[in-house]
A and B are shown apart, each in its own frame.
Chain A
Amino acid sequence: MLRTETYTMNFGPQHPATHGVFQVVLTLDGEKIVKAEPVCGYLHRGIEKLAESRTYQQVIPYTDRMDYLASMLQNWGYVMAVEKLMGLEVPERAEYLRVISGELSRLASHVLATGVYALDVGGFTGFLLCFRERERMMDLLEELTGSRMTFSYARFGGVADDAPEGWLEKLDKLMDDMPGYIDEYDGLITGNEIFQARTKQVGGLSPETAIDYSLSGPVLRGSGINYDLRKAKPYSIYDRFDFEVPVGKNGDCFDRYFCRVREMRQSVRIIKQAIEQIKEIDGPIKGKVPKALKPPKGDAYAEIESSKGILGFYVVSDGTNKPHRVHVRRPSFINLGYLDEMSRGWLIADLVAILGSIDIVLGEVDC
């Protein structure tokens, strides 16, 4: 057999398929990956350090800027940790608004992930198609919060504002249309022969490894582990909704992608039920919370299921109005940690498919 020298090649940080400023230093044998060393930190802004010199309320906008594709869920995770620390109650209507806005944010994130993944493996039509629906979601989120991406909608003990008049009806209409749209993705992307050839049996991940490496979200569930925090330890009011947790079989790129598509259908189901139930509930959207927030000394860790996986916030209070320490367990960061082992032995083209299937956001990886 012909022996070749290995050589190194930089993949990124200005490569469109890295989804942001992210570099992988590849050691290659021909086109085969021997080693893939991820280099992150290009977008590190020190949010955890900044949080220590801000008041508790001032930290909320920073969380928007981590996973900016699902900001609602980031806001939610942070306020939940502080609420746990202070033992705050959240009014029922606010919980519903959080679930509705959070699931809408998850949908927007998954729609983007689906479209971008199609683009990664060479299908431009799928990409544009997904942006058609994303625009409708963004319009709705803008109407609710005044912003298209950085929402800062959650507040301690509630949410910023109630849904505007007629908003829930518009959302209901979109949810009626969504299953048809998702069918289109299935037809155009999921069922596409080239797409399947690029993603099936590529980048396999065994369930044992997925658990061992703390992977979460569709990456974990794609390997057949049924672990979704909304079901495993239902926070907020998730125990009131009827939905399923989609899992994959083979743990390959296709399964991870397909988990996301099926999760979209479940999010639509949850939002439909929430809209139906919130009609019956009238009341405040914010609990009684003091303006100058000084949580008692101590620490709290709260976690929610974000669109990328388990999003945890660890908050330490020293009794003042500024947090002593805020740590974010970022699913994108930890999921990316296994990229090296996962891409060994595959071709450069497969690396694009593998990286896309993990669905990372660099704002969250680098924090």
Chain B
Amino acid sequence: MEKKISEIISELKEKFPQIKTSEETISVSTEDLLGLMQELKNSFGFNYLTNLTAADYPADAKGKGDGNEDEDDGEMEIVYNLTSVYEKLYLTVKARVSRKNPEIPSVFPVWGGANWQEREVYDLFGIVFTDHPNLKRILLTDNFEGYPLRKDYQWVGGRK
């Protein structure tokens, strides 16, 4: 099984020379993302988007941007866990967006399962999935301000 994954990864590297790979993880740019995902689904049988989430990696350790326009503000990483239900193969794809301009193509055209998961990431991180059919808040109310899962989100209460 491990061999199969490594074969897939080396085949992908020929088609998408820019991607970075390690064991079962592929890092891809936002430009290549949609093409890579379509290839993974159509040619390699990754028909199931198990999990889609994100994580915030601000440049400042405390996560507070200093408001300086030119300064690097850090990045956010979107993580896709893919499964091939019939072949029982598992693969992780990661893509990074800048915190200043968090935009990435939606993978809804590839897997319907991205619908609510992308909405959740948009709701909590403020990452915009372009061409998503119904991108609006899902857990929080529509008039909620801010994106709580970003590291610089200030929240009231709780234990110290």
Contact = CB atoms under 8 A, between A and B. Distances in A.
B55 A303 contact: no
Contacts, number: 86
Interface in A5-64: 40-41, 44, 46, 48-50, 53
B50 A49 contact: no
B127 interface: no
Contacts of B65: none
B50 A303 contact: yes
B104 to A, nearest CB: 17
B50 A225 contact: no
A35 B118 CA distance: 21
A367 B139 contact: yes
Contacts of B51: 301, 303, 312, 314, 327, 329
A212 B138 contact: no
Interface string B104-127: 000000011111110010001000
A325 interface: yes
B50 A312 contact: yes
B90 A337 contact: no
Interface string A299-317: 1010100000010101010
B34 interface: no
B141 A334 contact: no
A233 interface: yes
A211 B116 contact: no
Contact of B85 (A40, A53, A211, A316): A211
Given A213-B113, A324-B55, A337-B116, A301 B92 contact: yes
A214 interface: yes
Q: How large is the interface on B (under 10, 10 to 19, 20 to 34, 35 or more residues)?
A: 20 to 34
A338 B114 CA distance: 11
The secondary structure that dominates the A interface is mixed
A292 interface: no
B47 interface: yes
A227 B85 contact: yes
B113 A209 contact: no
A314 B79 contact: yes
10 contacts: A40-B138, A49-B148, A53-B159, A209-B112, A225-B85, A301-B81, A312-B81, A324-B55, A333-B116, A338-B112
Closest 4 CB pairs of A and B: A214-B113, A337-B116, A41-B139, A327-B53
Interface of A: 40-41, 44, 46, 48-50, 53, 209, 211-215, 225, 227, 232-233, 299, 301, 303, 310, 312, 314, 316, 324-325, 327, 329, 333-334, 336-338, 366-367
Interface of B: 47-51, 53, 55-56, 79, 81, 85, 88, 90, 92, 111-117, 120, 124, 138-141, 148-149, 153, 155, 158-159
